[in-house]
Structure 1
Amino acid sequence: MTKTIAIIGSGFSSLAASCYLAQQGHKVTVYEKNETIGGRARQLKQEGFTFDMGPSWYWMPDVFERFFNDFDKKSADYYELIKLNPAYRVYFGVNDFVSIFDNLEEIKTTFESIEKGSGKKLENFINQAKSNYDVAIKDLVYRPGVSPLELITPETALKLNQFFGTVSNDIRKKFKNQRLIQILEFPVLFLGAKPTKTPSFYNFMNYADFGLGTWHPKTGMFDVVRGMEKLATELGVTIKTNSVIEKIIVEQKTATAIVIEGKVIKADIILSGADYHHSETLLDAEHRNYSEKYWDSRVFAPSSLLFYVGFDKKIENISHHALFFDVDFDQHASDIYDKPKWPEAPLFYANFPSKTDTTAAPDGMESGFFLIPLAPGIEDSEELREEYFDKIITRFEELTQQKIKNNIIFKKSFCKNDFVADYNAYKGNAYGMANTLLQTAFLRPKLKSKKVKNLYFTGQLTVPGPGVPPALISGKLVAELIKKSIRTQ
């Protein structure tokens, strides 16, 4: 039976869900509040420079392939991938960095050169991480989070103890060198929690890193958004931008319509891929799944201070992706999670897409993306943004031994207030809700409303969690729940 489905938001989860629902034969319309699609993965073009505004790491290529394969397609039908080598560099001091190459053998050699005996230990650690990856990504994360019984399989029974240890403890038992520890702890930061709070099972992120590699769509992550948009429209999906949802109408405990600029738009099913907390504010209080107290009690992944910067020259001594760990890693983490405040000495990440993609900057120039992780809900002002930009650029110049401040010809910042204004992000979070033990699988906000019939949710605040690959999976999971619900009506 064909249904009319209204989807709120056009991020990865919404676009994925739209494709699956259209494939099922439904009439699907996506409504996006901003001028362009993609949600946090929008693109910024300014003065000849091109920037991905949000996600910039293409990990877990198998998840993207699985998505396109579901439509008898492959990613190559929509965009070209380049494997980065080095995948990234981690800077610890002046011209002092560790390069992570595109294959495990070279990475083992690098580890061995830093800590004797660590090469073999790394191989064993990655084998365990691969085993976890095979269980998690090929099976567990494709469960809808409806029941705790979803987690009970012969494979997970063998790994039960890994849900009670932590990634940090596991790494520190095997490796003593602080640099290697920080490199191995880095990938779980994508899950939005400290390594000391992330269950051991999630070391599968290390396999995603060292085992599967870091890729780059030829002209940026927005290639993926464009590819998904093309697939969606091929399947018959309609996408409307500049469409701010003012209310979700509920009649007799059933979602029946959305309101845009005072106009009531009827729908048989409503699916929100917008911020979950914001989506519920579009409902009258009695129809909401979760209270303000509930949201305030959740552990949220960080917000971020971002800078999109255009330089009038090429930047030297730098790779496409670079992490700057020349300050106290644990202190910055504490400033995010334990006692939220602006960090005195922030770690930061820099991304120079024009190192790989010549269209990202004019000839002889460079486009740069800088990110400082921050506590959600933190104070945000132009003065603070400028103070911290100066901090990281000064360090960048020192660490890479070059002057670049006077070569900046374009700069735009984006921080907590912008996450709230552009994405209605709860407390201005950038990555959603952290994947801690008590916020995993069935313990996350539900894909299906418990109080309102025909109302569903998708995205990084629900199952399976933060990150681009999980967003694609979330879209599939909610589409399957909708299909099941329609069958039983």
Structure 2
Amino acid sequence: MKTTVHIIGSGFSSLAAACYLAQDGFKVTIFEKNNTIGGRARQLKKDGFTFDIGPTWYWMPDVFERFFGDFNKKPSDYYTLEKLNPAYSVYFGKNDLITIEDTLEKISKAFENEEPGSSKKLATFIQNAKSNYDIAIKDLVYNPGLSPLELITPNTIKKINQFFSTIQKDVRKEFKNDRLVKILEFPVLFLGAKPSDTPSFYSFMNYADFGLGTFHPKKGMYQVILAMEHLAKELGVTIKTNANIESIIVEDKTAKGLICGGKAFYSNIVLSGADYHHTETLLDKAYRQYSETFWSKKTFAPAALLFYVGFDKTLKHVNHHTLFFDVDFENHAKSIYDNPKWPESPLFYASFPSKTDDFFAPEGKEAGIFLIPLAPGIEDNDNIRKEYFNKIIARFEHVTSQKVSEDILFYESFCINDFIKDYNSYKGNAYGMANTLLQTAFLRPKLKSKTVKNLFFTGQLTVPGPGVPPSLISGKLAANLISKQFGVLV
């Protein structure tokens, strides 16, 4: 009889873990609280428009290739991938923008135009970033975070200083043009921390940006979820939706299954891809590894206010991905990390997937997604959302020199209260726990429970960290631990 695994949640990490475990011979069932799978990576459809609710950036394509390759598949077996050119644009003021294209050569020219001599500095910076990327992918991120010794390899010893300096110091030492500094510091925001708190080693995100590029799966990021669902079902995984977990069954300090809809579903192993903090609330206090004080002291990646907007015309002067850095970067960061509050003048990001893919909007119209990073846990209500929608639309009109407010057919919002309601997200965070020095690798919450046997965790609050590619890796790491414990060689 097969060993059974019940998985809480159906996000990237849960689906990845399910595929690996099913391949290793386990009988796997996923329980998803919402009516569609994908966790944060769901879709919204309205009036002929389609929006990716969660992730919209496809970076680190090699991680996706490695995942599907582990099952003798390729991403192209399931979805069509297009490299974006331009990758994105960054606005610094009215009609004032820098466009990041699809090759390092083109990006170097853009840098040189801004700051003479910067292209040589960029070449050196990206060469180091590539070295870090190779070490991260080969030596570090596929380790399960069990021991500090995982960080000690011949390659990482050579880079030891980069764990004790910061991205901000490195960038600002070489680049004096404030606009270029902001572009180089932007990728680490995906790691959920300020550049001043992010170790230099994480410059590998700059290589992911400039060296590997930005991609778009045709029909959106949800196609990756559907691909993983298809693969999981091919491997024999059962997926239950509208299946909210009420508690984890523990007997003799061992996880024995889940309570869902008042019924007991027994299994040999429980793996949670749901919010780590929430998962521990499904246990009696005696079995929780981390206290409320522990969580309250951690640095969390931002929450977000998102708007999904249907426009009754196509928009000008924007690309598929467009960043609006026309206000003070530092002040917004302080309102997230230092003095949590709503930012007076927020930076924001906008995605217009219909610029690339006509799947997202009816002909002659535009689908727009706007995102404002926020401090987790601050007040969220409809009046605040409306105020900030009006703020960013006014800014958008000014910076891009076009009127759009009268062409808005509708908008939907998603913010802290929704992250809590839909995903049981701690304080409504959007991206998990930040990758600061003291929250890296073995210092993150563990994949395996220290207090309950046969209980495991995966996802962006554990190793290796926030983001879609790390979530795929996290699923593999959790599955490997389970397979090793239960006698399956990996």
Asked if these proteins are the same fold (TM beyond 0.5), I'd say: yes
User: What's the counterpart of residue 404 of structure 2?
Assistant: 404
After superposition, the Cα gap between the structure-2 partners of 1:488 and 1:240, relative to the gap in structure 1 and judged at 3 Å, is: closer
* In the alignment, structure 1 residue 48 sits paired with structure 2 residue 48: yes
User: What's the counterpart of residue 304 of structure 1?
Assistant: 304
1:271 aligns to what SS in structure 2? strand
* In the alignment, structure 1 residue 462 sits paired with structure 2 residue 462: yes
The code of the aligned residue for 1:243 comes to A
Q: Deviations over 1:334-361 (max 9, x none)?
A: 0100001100000000000101110100
1:53 positional shift: 0.3
- Asked if 1 retains the 8 angstrom alpha-carbon contact of 2:24 and 2:488, the reply is no
Aligned residue pairs, count? 489
1:142 aligns to what SS in structure 2? coil
TM-score by length of 2: 0.99
The code of the aligned residue for 2:210 comes to F
Unaligned runs of 5+ residues in structure 2 are none
- Asked if 1 retains the 8 angstrom alpha-carbon contact of 2:276 and 2:461, the reply is yes
1:340 aligns to what SS in structure 2? coil
1:410 positional shift: 1.7
User: What's the counterpart of residue 275 of structure 1?
Assistant: 275
1:488 positional shift: 8.9
Structure 1 runs, 4 residues or longer, greater than 6 Å off: none
User: What's the counterpart of residue 119 of structure 2?
Assistant: 119
Q: Deviations over 1:130-172 (max 9, x none)?
A: 0000000222000000000011100000000000000000000
> How far, CA to CA, are the matches of 1:87 and 1:438 in structure 2?
32
1:2 positional shift: 2.6
> How far, CA to CA, are the matches of 1:456 and 1:246 in structure 2?
17
User: What's the counterpart of residue 229 of structure 1?
Assistant: 229
Correspondence list, 1:87-236, <5 A: 87-236=87-236
> How far, CA to CA, are the matches of 1:488 and 1:90 in structure 2?
49
TM-score by length of 1: 0.99
* In the alignment, structure 1 residue 3 sits paired with structure 2 residue 3: yes
- Asked if 2 retains the 8 angstrom alpha-carbon contact of 1:47 and 1:410, the reply is no
The code of the aligned residue for 1:266 comes to Y
Q: Deviations over 1:163-191 (max 9, x none)?
A: 00000000001000000000000000000
User: What's the counterpart of residue 363 of structure 1?
Assistant: 363
1:332 aligns to what SS in structure 2? helix
* In the alignment, structure 1 residue 446 sits paired with structure 2 residue 446: yes
2:461 aligns to what SS in structure 1? coil
The code of the aligned residue for 1:355 comes to K
User: What's the counterpart of residue 417 of structure 1?
Assistant: 417
> How far, CA to CA, are the matches of 1:130 and 1:448 in structure 2?
31
- Asked if 2 retains the 8 angstrom alpha-carbon contact of 1:9 and 1:31, the reply is yes
> How far, CA to CA, are the matches of 2:195 and 2:116 in structure 1?
24
User: What's the counterpart of residue 382 of structure 1?
Assistant: 382
> How far, CA to CA, are the matches of 1:255 and 1:457 in structure 2?
12
User: What's the counterpart of residue 31 of structure 1?
Assistant: 31
User: What's the counterpart of residue 328 of structure 1?
Assistant: 328
1:487 positional shift: 1.7
User: What's the counterpart of residue 19 of structure 2?
Assistant: 19
How large is the RMSD of aligned CA atoms in angstroms? 0.9
1:137 aligns to what SS in structure 2? helix
- Asked if 2 retains the 8 angstrom alpha-carbon contact of 1:361 and 1:367, the reply is yes
Q: Deviations over 1:296-348 (max 9, x none)?
A: 11100000000000011101111000000000000000010000110000000
User: What's the counterpart of residue 284 of structure 2?
Assistant: 284
The code of the aligned residue for 1:46 comes to K
1:221 positional shift: 0.3
1:39 aligns to what SS in structure 2? coil
The code of the aligned residue for 1:358 comes to D
> How far, CA to CA, are the matches of 1:319 and 1:447 in structure 2?
39
1:290 aligns to what SS in structure 2? coil
User: What's the counterpart of residue 347 of structure 2?
Assistant: 347
- Asked if 1 retains the 8 angstrom alpha-carbon contact of 2:139 and 2:153, the reply is no
- Asked if 1 retains the 8 angstrom alpha-carbon contact of 2:126 and 2:211, the reply is yes
User: What's the counterpart of residue 258 of structure 2?
Assistant: 258
User: What's the counterpart of residue 64 of structure 2?
Assistant: 64
Unaligned runs of 5+ residues in structure 1 are none
- Asked if 2 retains the 8 angstrom alpha-carbon contact of 1:44 and 1:52, the reply is yes
> How far, CA to CA, are the matches of 1:11 and 1:488 in structure 2?
24
Q: Deviations over 1:106-147 (max 9, x none)?
A: 100000000010001001100000000000022200000000
User: What's the counterpart of residue 75 of structure 2?
Assistant: 75
1:40 aligns to what SS in structure 2? coil
> How far, CA to CA, are the matches of 1:47 and 1:488 in structure 2?
49
1:257 positional shift: 1.3
> How far, CA to CA, are the matches of 1:317 and 1:402 in structure 2?
9
- Asked if 2 retains the 8 angstrom alpha-carbon contact of 1:91 and 1:324, the reply is yes
